[in-house]
């Protein structure tokens, strides 16, 4: 390592998640020339899973920010350079990236050295035009003889003897010069001629070295003028301004939003889940009047002081008790080993809508928590998600999920599984509805639950039992005690 390398330290985009390959720079907290200390947060990046703050591991002065905000950078790419010894005077910092090699000078030796790298192949050599001219350099009489031969063939009679004198370029007497029996034209011009149905052998070239140009093809495609002049009003004039295409009009009223970060990860995960795990969704409508009364009572309970109590808390507890009664539902599918992995722990995911998109952090070992502990974990999870501070670790390892669509006034839905999980419960809106209670129709608070599960892991009977038990607990919440 040189002295310059030791002085200017480069910080690369780290893998802040589990095997992530890129991250977007959301915000820089420093600028070039700012002093930074080891461990100081210099930027915030967004991965496919979360927004993460990155600390710098050096002391010094910011020498260069390699990328601006909003740029997506691959993991392992240098994003910032720090001068760790700014008092040592000016020094040449390491280059950000090697500059592409200049192409060889025209006419240099070696055919391949003079070529410039392109996406496919090596591209055209700079001297290709001159080589074409040299190939067409045999004496003028031979060229004109070939021209006469082509013209004669087009006219339908035998080729005459080569003319002893050259033909003037101003009055070409034949079609294009021929090299190896093929007209000289670039590929786009050949394609244009093919699209217009023009035989290049009939086109008179006007380009240098006898090359056919696009204008030559268009001229050949133009209809020949008629000997008698027709009245101009017989021909419909072209519109002065062409009408815009429907696509152009529609595009002016559309906004394109780049798909990246959490939105990109969510889209990929949902497609993977929907087309990998065979989904089955079951529904049940239940009277939750007693549960809603219990929510109000728990809000006044001293043991629940300082934590948020809401219907979602009791739905989560009911779901956990149902899973404890039917532990086979808490599993995952191992495609590579063709095994079902039964899990003795429940990491309960809670789908959260954030400004960055949908994320699903989970409560680790939720099944082992008491109701106050579960309420505290749920509150922390929601607060962290709203602040955009959910870490990748908080979203890893989920086993089952709850999505609370009721907060949007929706009765229910058919939720898609989080990849790698076995089930997801949708909790719909709680509404007052007429309900038969103790033989009479009364207004009761009613909701609808929907359970989607992976049919490779969970058959209809098991899924039905889990959903029915969850509903039964919400109908009579004292079962939280008797069944737990």
Tokens 């080993």 correspond to 337
- Terminal Cα-to-Cα distance of the chain (whole angstroms): 63
Q: Which of 313, 423, 322 is nearest to 373 (CA)?
A: 313
Q: Which residues pair with 434 in a beta bridge?
A: 443
Residue among 408, 466, 404, 407 at smallest CA distance from 280: 466
How many residues appear in the chain?
484
Cα distance between residue 11 and residue 39, in whole Å:
12
Q: Is the distance from CB of 345 to CB of 324 less than 8 angstroms?
A: no
If you compute the radius of gyration of the chain from its CA atoms, what whole number of angstroms results? 38
Burial-class residue 385 by CB neighbours within 10 Å (0-12, 13-18, 19+): buried
Q: Collapsing DSSP states into helix, strand and coil, what is residue 247?
A: helix
Task: Go through 198-235 and write b for each residue having 16 or more CB atoms within 10 A of its CB, e for each that does not.
Answer: bebeebebebebbbbbeebbeebeeeeeeeeeeeeeee
3 state SS of 82: strand
Q: Are 446 and 285 in contact (CB under 8 A)?
A: yes
- Enumerate helices (H) and strands (E) in the chain, giving the number of each: 12, 21
* Known catalytic membership, residue 279: no
Q: Are 98 and 78 in contact (CB under 8 A)?
A: no
Residue 41 near residue 54, CB atoms below 8 Å: yes
Structure tokens at 155: 């006219």
Q: In this structure, what token pair is assigned to residue 301?
A: 């309970």
Q: 41 has which bridge partners?
A: 55
The Cα–Cα gap between 12 and 437 comes to 65
Active site residue: 218, 326, 437, 455, which one? 455
Q: Cα(442)–Cα(36) distance, rounded to whole angstroms?
A: 68
Which positions are catalytic?
A: 455
């Amino acid at each position: 390592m040189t002295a310059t390398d030791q002085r200017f330290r480069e910080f690369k985009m780290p893998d802040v998640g589990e095997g992530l390959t890129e991250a977007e720079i959301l915000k820089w907290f420093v600028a070039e020339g700012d002093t930074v200390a080891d461990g100081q947060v210099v930027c915030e990046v967004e991965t496919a899973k979360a927004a993460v703050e990155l600390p710098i591991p050096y002391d010094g002065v910011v020498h260069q920010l390699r990328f601006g905000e909003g740029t997506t950078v691959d993991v392992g790419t240098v994003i910032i350079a720090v001068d760790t010894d700014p008092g040592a005077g000016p020094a040449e910092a390491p280059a950000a990236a090697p500059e592409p090699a200049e192409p060889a000078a025209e006419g240099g030796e070696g055919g391949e050295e003079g070529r410039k790298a392109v996406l496919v192949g090596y591209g055209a050599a700079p001297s290709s035009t001159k080589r074409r001219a040299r190939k067409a350099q045999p004496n003028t009489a031979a060229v004109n003889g070939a021209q006469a031969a082509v013209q004669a063939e087009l006219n339908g009679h035998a080729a005459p003897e080569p003319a002893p004198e050259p033909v003037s370029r101003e009055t070409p007497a034949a079609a294009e010069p021929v090299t190896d029996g093929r007209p000289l034209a670039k590929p786009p011009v050949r394609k244009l001629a093919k699209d217009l149905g023009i035989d290049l052998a009939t086109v008179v070239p006007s380009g240098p070295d006898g090359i056919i140009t696009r204008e030559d093809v268009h001229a050949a495609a133009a209809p020949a003028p008629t000997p008698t002049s027709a009245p101009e009003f017989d021909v419909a004039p072209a519109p002065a301004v062409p009408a815009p295409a429907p696509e152009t009009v529609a595009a002016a009223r559309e906004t394109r939003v780049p798909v990246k970060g959490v939105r990109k990860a969510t889209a990929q995960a949902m497609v993977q889940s929907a087309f990998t795990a065979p989904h089955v969704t079951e529904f049940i409508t239940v009277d939750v009047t007693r549960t809603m009364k219990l929510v109000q009572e728990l809000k006044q309970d001293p043991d629940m002081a300082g934590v948020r109590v809401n219907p979602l808390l009791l739905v989560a507890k009911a779901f956990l008790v149902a899973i404890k009664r039917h532990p086979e539902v808490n599993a995952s599918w191992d495609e590579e080993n063709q095994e079902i992995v039964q899990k003795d722990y429940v990491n309960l995911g809670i789908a959260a809508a954030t400004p960055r998109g949908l994320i699903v952090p989970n409560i680790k070992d939720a099944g082992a928590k008491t109701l106050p502990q579960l309420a505290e974990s749920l509150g922390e999870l929601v607060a962290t998600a709203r602040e955009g501070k959910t870490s990748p670790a908080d979203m890893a390892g989920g086993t089952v999920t709850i999505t609370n669509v009721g907060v949007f006034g929706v009765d229910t839905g058919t939720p898609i599984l989080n990849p790698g999980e076995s089930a997801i419960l949708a909790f719909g809106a709680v509404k007052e509805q007429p309900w038969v209670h103790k033989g009479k129709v009364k207004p009761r608070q009613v909701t609808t639950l929907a359970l989607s599960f992976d049919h490779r892991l969970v058959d209809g009977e098991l899924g039905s039992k889990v959903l029915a038990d969850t509903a039964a607990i919400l109908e009579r919440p004292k079962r939280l005690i008797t069944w737990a």
